[in-house]
Structure 1
Amino acid sequence: MTKLPYRLSAAEMDILDERRGQRTREGFFHTHDDRHTGFQLSQAADEYLRAAVTCARHPEINPCNLRASGSWPWSARWWKPCAPRRMLVKAAALLIAEIERMDRAARGNGGAP
């Protein structure tokens, strides 16, 4: 890893930690991500982003009561709403996963672009 000329912010560290957790906690390694060639990772990120914005605009809403919309790409058991900041972290990590998948596809060793 390239040494950065600055320290990562708490937000950056949290996003990278979430991405690492997607692999280690959930077992979602690149072989899993590469099967999602229909931009499902981006769709999931969008769902978390929209939920975070809804909660930020309406603080009376309990995030735990939010349901995923019809564009959530997976089973409802994978929808895990939480505090708005945490949902933004999840969204950013999912976008990293999508970009990594696209990069592998472009190199010819992963999911289709």
Structure 2
Amino acid sequence: MDIQKKPEFTETINLVKAVLERLEFHAFEEVLIWSEEHASKALLRCLKKTLSEFENGHLVLTSSYPKLKHFSIDTVTSGLMTALDQAQERQDNLNREIDELKDQLAKAQAVPECSAIKDVIGERQRQISHEFYSTEHDDEYKSNELLRAAVCYAENVLSRGWVHRSSPNSGIYQSEEAPDFWPWDLDFWKPKSPRKDLVRAAALLIAEIERIDRAQEQKG
């Protein structure tokens, strides 16, 4: 009886086709999971060639199969399923590695739960949204104005911070005169407290760094 007319043959061919369809999905629809794309394509070509040989009712034996004396669909099907399981295992391992790398990257990029950092970022955002100091506005400060303002606030904390610590509610610290190198009108000099002034100084430094970066990008 012709093997192609046996129900078992048709059932096995359908199973092999299903295996190939799933393998093709993994190899091409999600090709990024493979570390060696060419290897996956080569495997797919070999399996498709084997299926074609099955459908034609014969199997071409080569020196690659010296111990295979009789054609066995079950044996080849088992081999295909094993190859698929190995491919699936490799995919699962690679996906786990990708997930671990994503977690590591997310942790590295996450802003630490630190009130000081949050306050500095908040102050920088306030300067932009409430004081209307846009990036275009900051780009006009080409004579270290932002840097000088930051240094003035930090210098005031360094030299006069003790006044606030000794008399926090006296208003003396808040009435300190602006340093000589304050870059803007005196109306903009508004010391509040050592901590708040350091937060403003840090935000001004960030603004200066951003300005430098934009200038570099424009130069190409």
The TM-score with structure 2 as length reference comes to 0.46
2:198 to 85, 88, 94: 88
Structure with greater Cα Rg: 2
% identical aligned pairs: 35
Whole-Å Cα distance in 2 between the matches of residues 5 and 65 of structure 1? 39
Q: Which residue pairs with 2:114 in the alignment?
A: 9
Give unmatched runs, 5+ long, in structure 1. Answer: none
Between 13-22 and 51-60, report the one with greater CA deviation.
51-60
1:77 to 165, 184, 187: 187
**Structure with the higher fraction of residues in helix conformation:** 2
Deviation at 1:54, TM superposition (A): 2.1
Whole-Å Cα distance in 2 between the matches of residues 93 and 105 of structure 1? 19
Flag the structure with more relative contact order, 1 or 2, with Cα contacts below 8 A and sequence separation at least 6.
Answer: 1
Q: Which residue pairs with 1:100 in the alignment?
A: 210
1:34-49 residue pairs with structure 2 within 5 A? Answer: 34-49=139-154
Q: What is the SS of the residue equivalent to 1:35?
A: coil
Q: Report the aligned-residue RMSD.
A: 1.8
Give unmatched runs, 5+ long, in structure 2. Answer: 1-104
Q: What is the SS of the residue equivalent to 1:43?
A: helix
The TM-score with structure 1 as length reference comes to 0.87
Q: What is the SS of the residue equivalent to 1:93?
A: helix
Whole-Å Cα distance in 2 between the matches of residues 37 and 47 of structure 1? 17
Deviation at 1:55, TM superposition (A): 3.0
Between 62-71 and 11-20, report the one with greater CA deviation.
62-71
- Indicate whether 1:23 and 2:128 are aligned: yes
